[in-house]
Amino acid sequence: MLDLLVINARLHNKKELMQIACKEGKILGVSPQIDAKTLQTQTLQTIDAEGYFVTPPFVDSHLHLDGTLSLGLPHLNQSGTLLEGIKIWGELKPTLTHETIKARAKKLLHWSIAKGNLVIRSHVDTSDPCLMAVDVLLELRHEMKEFIDLQLVAFPQNGVLRSTTGMATLTSSLDKGVDVVGGIPHFERTMADGQTSVRLLCELAEQRGLMVDMHCDESDDPHSRHIEALTFETQRLGLQGRVAGSHLTSMHSMDNYYVSKLLPLMAEAKMNCICNPLVNMSIQGRHDTYPKRRGLMRVPELLDARINVSLGHDDVMDPWYPMGTHDMLEVAHMGAHALHMTGIDQQAALFDAITVNGAKTLNLENYGLEPGCNADMVILQASSKQEAIRLRPARLFVIRRGKIISRMEKAKATVTIGAEDVTVDFCP
Ligand code: FE2
């Protein structure tokens, strides 16, 4: 018996509308006409996609679920800087409870599902000696696993060397089941300590067979070059393809000659880069007068160097960022503007950065719309990758393992001009 048959589905790489047959949580076949023998079996549910665009689910490669939806607690970030955000987070942490972290994170996951984000890599602050947020997010990862894949990164917000207990609590969080080793080298006391932290954390990941994802060079300082050390350690320890540099905003201000040496080394190490356009457009360059730097990594150049780049939302209504609905299409939309990536192929590349490239960063298996992949997909009220970014449209159906887990009404407006009603869908 088929769980689900999606008909009239528009896929990015096919001219004809397709049928997608799903069985036991997997995609059984993708074809203009699923063969009669398969269709003879009973189908539990059929969805007519009406020619709309069907995509694998969105992947948020970088989020902070432990602080999400805490905006204004205990007060707002007046300067808009990363450092004031860290200070407010430090004030908020002692007041947090298991219940409040969990309720906010769970609410955010409901938003995520409605927006079609079924895979999230979330950092979790491991500085707290009792690791309360770690316990909450591990619990949530388990409770929500039927609906969403949550990958957790041990994030030492206070630095593993700057804080005397940093390395111990991070290691304890890995013992509890956190998936990925994090870091924050630019926040350590010196450049040398930052470099040492990169070495120690990569060695820890290598010993435990884990991936690495560091907050790296989230700074406007062009001399913040911890990505160089991260690239070197990746190569030295044989971690190619399993390491990610998140933020990398100092790359925006680095000397061009230095970057021309750096990018081939990053390509050789199969470094994954995670850019967070919404948040870094907001918090970088705050110490500048005019002209103000925008502080994003060099995404077009990274892609030209065949380096995998994915995008993250980073924050949603917390001490660092007051906005957001956890819409990855909004992230790509900001990226198109802020990264000068408005070309048609560049827009498609940004769509890939919130889908397939994210899956590569997270080392996901069975992701995609091919036979044998997990039957996870989103039907968008749009006709293409580019239109999806332009409209940030309704996610009509969100499907997880062959079951509908979220529906949204089609968006349209009726404009009344005199006696005439005109339907507007914002499509030319
Ligand atoms: Fe972050």
Evaluate if residue 248 carries a pLDDT over 90: yes
CA of 155 to the centre of ligand 1 (A): 9
345 and 402 housed in the same domain: no
Q: Within a domain: residue 405? A: yes
pLDDT tens digits for range 362-397: 999 999 999 999 999 999 999 999 999 999 999 999
Evaluate if residue 36 carries a pLDDT over 80: no
Question: Which residue, among 69, 19, 8, 62, has the nearest Cα to 43 in the 3D structure?
Answer: 19
Question: In terms of DSSP bridges, do strands 26-31 and 18-23 run parallel, antiparallel, or are they unpaired?
Answer: antiparallel
CA of 157 to the centre of ligand 1 (A): 10
Q: What is the pLDDT of residue 275?
A: 98
225 and 340 housed in the same domain: yes
* Beta carbons of 415 and 378 less than 8 angstroms apart: no
Last residue of a domain, which of 320, 342, 361? 361
pLDDT tens digits for range 81-90: 988 999 999 9
pLDDT tens digits for range 52-85: 999 999 999 999 999 999 999 999 999 999 889 9
CA of 289 to the centre of ligand 1 (A): 25
pLDDT tens digits for range 294-329: 889 999 999 999 999 999 999 999 999 999 999 999
247 and 345 housed in the same domain: yes
Cβ of 244: how many Cβ atoms within 10 Å? 29
User: Residue 39: pLDDT band by 50, 70, 90 thresholds?
Assistant: confident
Instruction: State the CATH number of the domain containing residue 11.
Output: 2.30.40.10
158 and 307 housed in the same domain: yes
Q: From CA 205, how far away is CA 299, in angstroms rounded?
A: 26
Q: What is the pLDDT of residue 42?
A: 84
Q: Within a domain: residue 135? A: yes
Three-state DSSP class for 317? coil
CA of 189 to the centre of ligand 1 (A): 19
Q: What is the pLDDT of residue 41?
A: 75
CA of 320 to the centre of ligand 1 (A): 9
CA of 280 to the centre of ligand 1 (A): 9
* Beta carbons of 4 and 398 less than 8 angstroms apart: no
Instruction: State the CATH number of the domain containing residue 169.
Output: 3.20.20.140
Q: Within a domain: residue 251? A: yes
Three-state DSSP class for 320? coil
User: Is the alpha carbon torsion for 157, 227, 176, 241 positive or negative?
Assistant: positive
Six token digits for residue 158:
């206070």
378 and 405 housed in the same domain: yes
pLDDT tens digits for range 101-117: 999 999 999 999 999 99
11 and 129 housed in the same domain: no
Q: What is the pLDDT of residue 363?
A: 98
334 and 238 housed in the same domain: yes
Q: Within a domain: residue 321? A: yes
State the average pLDDT for the chain: 97
Q: What is the pLDDT of residue 38?
A: 77
What's the total number of domains in the chain? Answer: 2
Q: Within a domain: residue 418? A: no
Last residue of a domain, which of 322, 341, 361? 361
73 and 196 housed in the same domain: yes
User: Residue 1: pLDDT band by 50, 70, 90 thresholds?
Assistant: confident
* Beta carbons of 256 and 224 less than 8 angstroms apart: no
Q: What is the pLDDT of residue 294?
A: 87
**Mean pLDDT, residues 338-358 taken together:** 98
CA of 281 to the centre of ligand 1 (A): 13
340 and 401 housed in the same domain: no
CA of 122 to the centre of ligand 1 (A): 9
314 and 235 housed in the same domain: yes
Q: What is the pLDDT of residue 238?
A: 98
pLDDT tens digits for range 201-238: 999 999 999 999 999 999 999 999 999 999 999 999 99
Q: Within a domain: residue 427? A: no
Evaluate if residue 40 carries a pLDDT over 80: no
Evaluate if residue 357 carries a pLDDT over 90: yes
24 and 166 housed in the same domain: no
Catalytic residue set: 218
Q: What is the pLDDT of residue 299?
A: 98
Give, to the nearest 10 degrees, the angle between helix 226-236 and helix 191-208: 30
Q: From CA 50, how far away is CA 6, in angstroms rounded?
A: 10
Q: Within a domain: residue 420? A: no
CA of 81 to the centre of ligand 1 (A): 13
Last residue of a domain, which of 331, 361, 391? 361
User: Is the alpha carbon torsion for 250, 256, 261, 263 positive or negative?
Assistant: positive
Percent of the chain at pLDDT > 90 equals 95
Q: Within a domain: residue 425? A: no
Q: Which domain holds residue 254?
A: 58-361
Amino acid found at 201: L
341 and 392 housed in the same domain: no
pTM of the model: 0.97
